Amino acid sequence: MTQPELVQSLYQTMHLVRRFEEKLVELYPSDKIKSPIHLSIGQEAVAAAVCAPLNQDDIISNTYRCHATHIAKGGNLNAMMAELYGKATGCAGGKAGSMHLVEIESGILGASAVVGTTIPVAAGYALALKNEAKKTGEQRVVTAMFGDGSTEEGCFAETINFAVLHKLPILFVCENNEMAIHNPIERRQAISIQERVKPYGMPMGHVTSGDVFEMHDEVTRLTESVRAGNGPAFIEIETHRWLEHVGPNNDDDAPYRNPADLKKWKENDQVARLAEMLGTEKTAEINAHVEELVAESVTFAEQSAFPTKEELYTHVYA
Amino acid sequence: MTQPELVQSLYQTMHLVRRFEEKLVELYPSDKIKSPIHLSIGQEAVAAAVCAPLNQDDIISNTYRCHATHIAKGGNLNAMMAELYGKATGCAGGKAGSMHLVEIESGILGASAVVGTTIPVAAGYALALKNEAKKTGEQRVVTAMFGDGSTEEGCFAETINFAVLHKLPILFVCENNEMAIHNPIERRQAISIQERVKPYGMPMGHVTSGDVFEMHDEVTRLTESVRAGNGPAFIEIETHRWLEHVGPNNDDDAPYRNPADLKKWKENDQVARLAEMLGTEKTAEINAHVEELVAESVTFAEQSAFPTKEELYTHVYA
Amino acid sequence: MSMLSNQRLLRTVDALAEACSQEMARDDSVFLFGLDVDDHKAIQGSTAGLLEKFGPDRIFGTPLSEDAMTGVAVGAAMAGMRPIHVHIRMDFVLLAMNQLINMGAKAHYMYNGQIQVPMVVRCTIGRSWGQGAQHSQALHSMLMHVPGLKVVAPTNAYDAKGLMIAAIRDNNPVIIMEHRLLCNAEAYVPEDLYEVEIGKARIMSQGDDITILGVSHMAIESMRAAKFLKEEGISAEVIDPVSLRPLDMETIGNSVQKTGKLLVVDNGWLNCGLSAEVLASIAEQGLTGPDGQPVQVARMGFADTTCPTVRCLEDHFYPNGRTIAAKAYQMVKAQPTATWLPPEGVQPEIQEFKGPF
Amino acid sequence: MSMLSNQRLLRTVDALAEACSQEMARDDSVFLFGLDVDDHKAIQGSTAGLLEKFGPDRIFGTPLSEDAMTGVAVGAAMAGMRPIHVHIRMDFVLLAMNQLINMGAKAHYMYNGQIQVPMVVRCTIGRSWGQGAQHSQALHSMLMHVPGLKVVAPTNAYDAKGLMIAAIRDNNPVIIMEHRLLCNAEAYVPEDLYEVEIGKARIMSQGDDITILGVSHMAIESMRAAKFLKEEGISAEVIDPVSLRPLDMETIGNSVQKTGKLLVVDNGWLNCGLSAEVLASIAEQGLTGPDGQPVQVARMGFADTTCPTVRCLEDHFYPNGRTIAAKAYQMVKAQPTATWLPPEGVQPEIQEFKGPF
Ligand SMILES: Cc1ncc(C[n+]2csc(CCOP(=O)(O)OP(=O)(O)O)c2C)c(N)n1
Ligand SMILES: Cc1ncc(C[n+]2csc(CCOP(=O)(O)OP(=O)(O)O)c2C)c(N)n1
Ligand SMILES: [Mg+2]
Ligand SMILES: [Mg+2]
């Protein structure tokens, strides 16, 4: 991919995430979306960068804050919006909602609302892919997304140890927004995530700049290392959540917020930055396309039917 | 304590542990002790060193492999043996057995047979003692004993983080015999315990020599640091289990054993070493006393009654 | 509810906060901790004001480490403190099962009375607004299975305060199961400190034709059902068990001997659940109704599925006043296929509830 | 048990190892892992020979990390593998509850069928030789509570092999609950691959006077009871449920309609347990005996206490053939205070069992 192509591709992904979620902000007061939504507005660069080096049949594993990577990994936008509406045409027929988005044909492993749970699950998937590669000769990779808070759960330490021990094809991505709900990281973690993880000897990255290109380069380097069979890698990407933890609102003046941080990160907005790089014309073209996609997803969701009550009893057992 | 006093004291403790457990080895085939026993023969130095700097009202928290520290911390030997026999006069009236020895008046918090469980429990106790010290001005300390295997449980990582964050008065003691049952540490842990713990910035020790004096000095230094209010400390003490994981037998020729290791550690036996330092006369005197204590505990246990069946229903709720 | 002076209308969450505050003032061994207990949302307000009053040593947020934090509560309790550990959803208690069950429930027995574990675990059952599979579980039946644990489930502000105080003073691990939809429900609550006895059920409304035992939010739905039934001339006795372990089988038994019919409506799954326990206990005792016939029994609860997210399926996942009334109607009329269903009613706590959480 | 060719007398553990070995040979997506599965003790022999045959990629020990290892099983299963995760004691499953219940049980439903979780969890209930509070728990009732999970409990080598094969081939998480005292019990086992259907109970001995449902080791004790009762002229029908979730209420229901009496003997606690579920289900259905009277029901199980270590208390913690017979005698004779107790019998698996583990 040439540099201009990259700029365009990253911009398109980030802008789509941004606009999709802004649409949710707009729609939410209508109460058509009856499920907790955890938005990634402000954090779009991470998703765009992380998914860029992934193939469709690579796997991404998500937390409840999963809209951005769902989109970036290529999840069907209509099925996604329909899922948020709880419609039968949703990616999980309305059973999942925002917190459990899934689309296995796009390599999107179901998300979980219990913090940390997906980390070992992703490692288990990676174990299977390591096994598969012995037969196919092709190493698919698993990218495990999680927040800074997840790393406090015991299963994080357990999984890192296991993954290194078994040289699993997994990239651990810690999306560090320095918050778990309203609780700042320094009140939860005695030492930095970098310090904790470094001793495991995995190839590591740490992007503090918020620069989507730096994220992209680091993630690409590490993903390729994983794909080459070098075992797990780890990257921590610093970012900032602009809106409240859950829901569509700003909470700029909530006591846990540091306004200077928010200001700094907003000034560092990668969506705006890349728009500028692309120029008004190109941006307008992409934007128009994005608006269409988002509008179409809303129409699709609105026009779809709710599941029938028989659906309550389907898929309890396989 | 003068150096000769220290030698004598450490020897007496170690020898008592050794002889008590050798007595168990002797008794076990009689089937009078009907409970899994996890012996510390070969590891006595750790218990002696760890308990040396502790006061009676300091707390030790144990795993199922708890005979050695139970004795070293000053647990009543008669009540201990009676407990192994399951007698009403046992330290827990027969309800605990070998794996859950307890004697709160000697500062011995009950042991647990679920690996890792006692680590956060010990931290919780330490939290209470930190609180207590604010009122009394005296900092009691908690010494948390655990094996190398425990450090793989998620709660270990969770607890270390919490203890450092809250500057808890706790000394973590990892008794590293490099085995979890028959599974060697290198097949379970991707990196060393030292590497994993070092980043937390606690005062640390690592005794690899098997030398009881080195253990003693290190443990003393760290215990005093904890007592002085500097927060948690961590020590890893390498050692070797001479007998099988559970039960009274040798398993020298089991496939998981490295005979060279066993030989090396047996040649490094601290009980024998200190006996030599003390000279035959002093040793004989102590040994005679120890034999009496052990014999008395057996007599006490044998002569005690079993609990009545009503005891089944006592202490379900407080 | 006994009459105490200085009653005010309080929300359940305010009553909980008041109970903690008064107990923390009375006994400095009490402390409260858990994720998010000290932020500005204060667990729906149920921990509001505590930080200001008691400072960060006695009320503090924790890392995301439910397993170890439960162990910390156990250990602190062993040392004589009285921790209150808070989970914003009961689903997360699954991470704490080892400490709760292998240590908390057993320590007193295993150590033959030498050690006590006076700890409280607060946890909220989620419902509505697409809480979905992992934020809506009610796991009381699992916990009730274990000797050494106590489990209570307040359904109003009065009980919330009284049970919280009783739980704090209890020398055993007590799990307080709250319900998200009941957080803001108001009731008269005395200013004074008082205990609601753990182990006593409460008759919410007297009746002769059928006994309905409603657990947690289902106590509210059962009261709605009773209202519907009244219009059909059926008088239902509604019982709120209040305490789940120990469970007041005496009060339930007395009621069913009067009515001859029992419908247990659990706020949880049926299989191996509280509802099974109650039915089994009645059958085992061979209790009979006023006609000398064995008590007729039935149960309702969560559908035997995972909880779906979308409202239209969720509506069928939970019993409600109407479906409860319909079932009771069938039982009382002895018409198992009767299709009477009350008119749509209001369920303000559901209809007005808007997340996002 | 159906008759298949090439039967040999095998211990339960050998049958389990054979089942795994044959399935691993048949289907290379099957792998087995867990603490100590690959050492020379081989989980009482139940994993013996697998390492030699299939190598360390398909059978491997793990770190002590039950929570994450369960997650690894879930994830590998999602990817199409068929993991078998082994716990040497069921008590340790409490560390795995979050992954088992929040992910394993729910994924298929929550993701609307897009994902399957074909995993097996093997776990052994400990008993005797002072296993005590934390090495003796039988937690099947907790797991039975959860939609999405299956739970089976083989009591002989034939079922052990057939259930293991069925569990491996099942597309859901299946928990296989074994019993330490039954590890070495022998039964005739076909060499061929066969499945024992998950969801079907087995009538162990026919009878007319009372139905005794015995779970896990209690199936053995119930057979002992039936023998004692026979000498008193009482004919007991003993049923081994084999599968606990799904539970074959049809077979149980048919039996109690014939005998009019049901004694459930669970190998676990009673409160909110399997025994409660069975009694509730019978009562709910209003089943009657041959005399048209409601079925008379009772249950036995672990004492409502933590398990003590010393043998003399442990003996009272568990039901046994004699106490089961005595209870059944009271029920059949309709003499609730009858004190008949059979003579001391032999329980070789208990009397001969010597730890140390
Ligand atoms: C096991 C568990 N504990 C607590 C919660 C409540 N909770 C939901 S989101 C969250 C914060 C997680 O923070 P982080 O991992 O940093 O992710 P972020 O929300 O910042 O993206 C918490 C504590 C939960 N869902 N699961
Ligand atoms: C949670 C848990 N998992 C597994 C076991 C089984 N088990 C008993 S002892 C043991 C080994 C523990 O090793 P380590 O912590 O090094 O202690 P050591 O026995 O070497 O003293 C294991 C795996 C257990 N008791 N608890
Ligand atoms: Mg975060
Ligand atoms: Mg070890």
What residues in D contact C296, CB-CB < 8 Å?
286
Catalytic residue among C66, C237, C277, C349: C66
Backbone angles phi, psi at D245, to 5 degrees: -140, 115
pLDDT for the residue numbered C3: 57
Nearest residue, CB atoms, C64 vs list A113, A149, A306? A149
pLDDT above 60: residue A55: yes
Taking CA–CA distances from A38, the nearest residue in chain C reads C356
pLDDT above 60: residue D2: no
pLDDT for the residue numbered D3: 57
Which pair of structure tokens corresponds to residue C231? 């219009």
pLDDT above 90: residue C316: yes
pLDDT for the residue numbered C352: 87
A 139-168 residues with CB < 8 A to B: 152-158, 160-162, 164-165
pLDDT above 90: residue D191: yes
- Atom 18 in ligand 1: residue holding the nearest Cα: A147
Rounded to the nearest angstrom, the minimum Cα separation between B27 and chain A is: 40
Mean pLDDT of D165-183: 98
Evaluate whether the domain defined by C7-190 bears CATH number 3.40.50.970.
yes
CB neighbour list of residue D195: distance below 8 Å, 6 or more residues apart: D162, D165, D166, D169
pLDDT for the residue numbered B135: 96
Residues D313, B307: C-beta atoms closer than 8 Å: yes
pLDDT tens digits for range B237-287: 999 999 999 999 999 999 999 999 999 999 999 999 999 999 999 999 999
DSSP string across B85-126: HT-TTSTTTTSS-GGG--BGGGTEEEEESSTTTHHHHHHHHH
Which pair of structure tokens corresponds to residue B123? 């931290």
User: What residue spans in chain D does CATH classification 3.40.50.920 cover?
Assistant: 202-333
Angle formed at CA A50 by CA A46 and CA A55, multiple of 5 degrees:
150
pLDDT for the residue numbered C22: 98
- Atom 3 in ligand 1: residue holding the nearest Cα: A115
B183 and chain D in contact, CB less than 8 A: yes
Mean pLDDT of C80-91: 98
β C202-205/C236-240 pair status: antiparallel
What residues in C contact A113, CB-CB < 8 Å?
132-135
Could you say which ligand is closest to the alpha carbon of residue C61? 1
CB neighbour list of residue A71: distance below 8 Å, 6 or more residues apart: A13, A16, A17, A20, A47, A77, A80
pLDDT tens digits for range D109-119: 999 999 999 99
pLDDT above 90: residue D346: no
Evaluate whether the domain defined by C202-333 bears CATH number 3.40.50.920.
yes
Q: Are D165 and D174 in contact (CB under 8 A)?
A: no
Count of CB atoms within 10 A of residue A206's CB?
Answer: 17
pLDDT tens digits for range A275-303: 999 999 999 999 999 999 999 999 999 99
pLDDT tens digits for range C122-175: 999 999 999 999 999 999 999 999 999 999 999 999 999 999 999 999 999 999
For residue B151, report the distance from its CA to the centre of ligand 4, in Å: 10
CB neighbour list of residue A124: distance below 8 Å, 6 or more residues apart: D71, D72, D73, D74, D75, D76, D77, D78, D79, D83
Residues D103, A117: C-beta atoms closer than 8 Å: yes
Give the confidence band of C357 by pLDDT, cuts at 50, 70, 90. confident
CA–CA dist B302, B82 (Å, integer):
7
pLDDT for the residue numbered C355: 82
D39 Rama class: left (phi>0) / alpha (psi -120 to 50) / beta: beta
Which pair of structure tokens corresponds to residue D152? 């089976």
C92 lines ligand 1 (CB under 6 A): yes
pLDDT for the residue numbered C2: 52
Which pair of structure tokens corresponds to residue D209? 């006077």
For residue A178, report the distance from its CA to the centre of ligand 3, in Å: 5
Mean pLDDT of C201-213: 98
Place of tokens 């399951």: B86
For residue A262, report the distance from its CA to the centre of ligand 3, in Å: 14
Q: For chain D, which chains pass the contact test of at least 3 CB pairs under 8 Å? A: A, B, C
Closest CA to B239 of B48, B79, B105, B46: B46
β D261-265/D296-300 pair status: parallel
Sequential pLDDT tens for chain B (318 residues)? 899 999 999 999 999 999 999 999 999 999 999 999 999 999 999 999 999 999 999 999 999 999 999 999 999 999 999 999 999 999 999 999 999 999 999 999 999 999 999 999 999 999 999 999 999 999 999 999 999 999 999 999 999 999 999 999 999 999 999 999 999 999 999 999 999 999 999 999 999 999 999 999 999 999 999 999 999 999 999 999 999 999 999 999 999 999 999 999 999 999 999 999 999 999 999 999 999 999 999 999 999 999 999 999 999 999
Q: Are C275 and C264 in contact (CB under 8 A)?
A: yes
Which pair of structure tokens corresponds to residue C306? 């995972």
Measured from the CA of B175, which atom of ligand 2 is nearest? 21
pLDDT for the residue numbered B266: 98
CA–CA dist C222, C210 (Å, integer):
12
pLDDT for the residue numbered C4: 60
Residues C146, D305: C-beta atoms closer than 8 Å: no
For residue B198, report the distance from its CA to the centre of ligand 3, in Å: 25
What residues in D contact A315, CB-CB < 8 Å?
108-109, 112-113
User: What residue spans in chain D does CATH classification 3.40.50.970 cover?
Assistant: 7-190
Residues A196, B195: C-beta atoms closer than 8 Å: no
For chain C, the average pLDDT equals: 97
Of all residues in chain B, the percent with pLDDT exceeding 70 is: 100
D 66-95 residues with CB < 8 A to C: 67, 91, 94-95
Taking CA–CA distances from B89, the nearest residue in chain C reads C112
Rounded to the nearest angstrom, the minimum Cα separation between A198 and chain B is: 9
What residues in B contact D355, CB-CB < 8 Å?
34-36, 246-247
Taking CA–CA distances from D107, the nearest residue in chain A reads A110
- Atom 17 in ligand 1: residue holding the nearest Cα: A147
DSSP state of C58: T
Of all residues in chain C, the percent with pLDDT exceeding 90 is: 95
Buried b (16+ CB within 10 A) or exposed e, D126-136: bbbbbbbbbbb
B114 and chain A in contact, CB less than 8 A: no
Closest CA to C296 of D264, D285, D274, D298: D285
Backbone angles phi, psi at D162, to 5 degrees: -65, -35
CA–CA dist D127, D112 (Å, integer):
40
Which pair of structure tokens corresponds to residue C210? 């059928």
* Cis, bond preceding B199 (omega within 30 deg of 0): no
Q: Are D237 and D210 in contact (CB under 8 A)?
A: yes
Residues C68, B155: C-beta atoms closer than 8 Å: yes
pLDDT above 80: residue C1: no
Residues of C with CB under 8 A from a CB of B: 57, 62-63, 65, 67-81, 83, 98-99, 102-103, 107-118, 147-148, 150, 171-172
pLDDT for the residue numbered D97: 98
pLDDT above 80: residue A318: yes
Which CATH code is given to the segment(s) B3-301? 3.40.50.970
Ligand 1 pocket: which of A119, A181, A193 to mutate (most atoms within 8 A of CB):
A181
pLDDT for the residue numbered D83: 98
Residues C91, D105: C-beta atoms closer than 8 Å: no
Tell me the β-bridge partners of B61.
Answer: B109, B144
Buried b (16+ CB within 10 A) or exposed e, B122-133: bbbbbbbbbbbb
Catalytic residue among C85, C135, C179, C217: C135
Q: Are A98 and A86 in contact (CB under 8 A)?
A: no
Angle formed at CA C217 by CA C267 and CA C261, multiple of 5 degrees:
65
Residues framing ligand 2 (Cβ under 6 A): B 65, 113-116, 147-150, 177, 179-181, 245; D 35, 64, 66, 88, 92, 95
pLDDT tens digits for range C246-277: 999 999 999 999 999 999 999 999 999 999 99
Q: Are C280 and D275 in contact (CB under 8 A)?
A: yes
CB neighbour list of residue D163: distance below 8 Å, 6 or more residues apart: D152, D154, D176, D196, D198, D242, D243
What residues in A contact C312, CB-CB < 8 Å?
86, 94, 306-307, 309
Q: Are B236 and B206 in contact (CB under 8 A)?
A: yes
Of all residues in chain D, the percent with pLDDT exceeding 70 is: 99
Nearest residue, CB atoms, D36 vs list B153, B181, B255? B181
3-state secondary structure chain D: CCCCCCEEEEEHHHHHHHHHHHHHHHCCCEEEEECCCCCCCCHHHCCCCHHHHHCCCCEECCCCCHHHHHHHHHHHHHCCCEEEEEECCHHHHHHHHHHHHHHHCCHHHHCCCCCCCCCEEEEEECCCCCCCCCCCCCCHHHHHCCCCCEEECCCCHHHHHHHHHHHHHCCCCEEEEEEHHHCCCEEEEECCCCCCCCCCCEEEECCCCEEEEECCHHHHHHHHHHHHHHHCCCCEEEEECCEEECCCHHHHHHHHHHHCEEEEECCCCCCCCHHHHHHHHHHHHCCECCCCCECEEEEECCCCCCCCCCHHHHHHHCCCHHHHHHHHHHHHCCCCCCCCCCCCCCCHHHHCCCCCC
CA–CA dist B244, D355 (Å, integer):
13
pLDDT tens digits for range C6-50: 899 999 999 999 999 999 999 999 999 999 999 999 999 999 999
pLDDT above 90: residue C93: yes
CA A25 to chain centre: 18
- Atom 17 in ligand 2: residue holding the nearest Cα: B147
pLDDT above 60: residue D1: no
pLDDT above 80: residue D4: no
pLDDT above 60: residue D261: yes
Residues of D with CB under 8 A from a CB of B: 35-36, 39-41, 61-68, 91-92, 95, 128-135, 303-306, 308-313, 316-317, 354-357
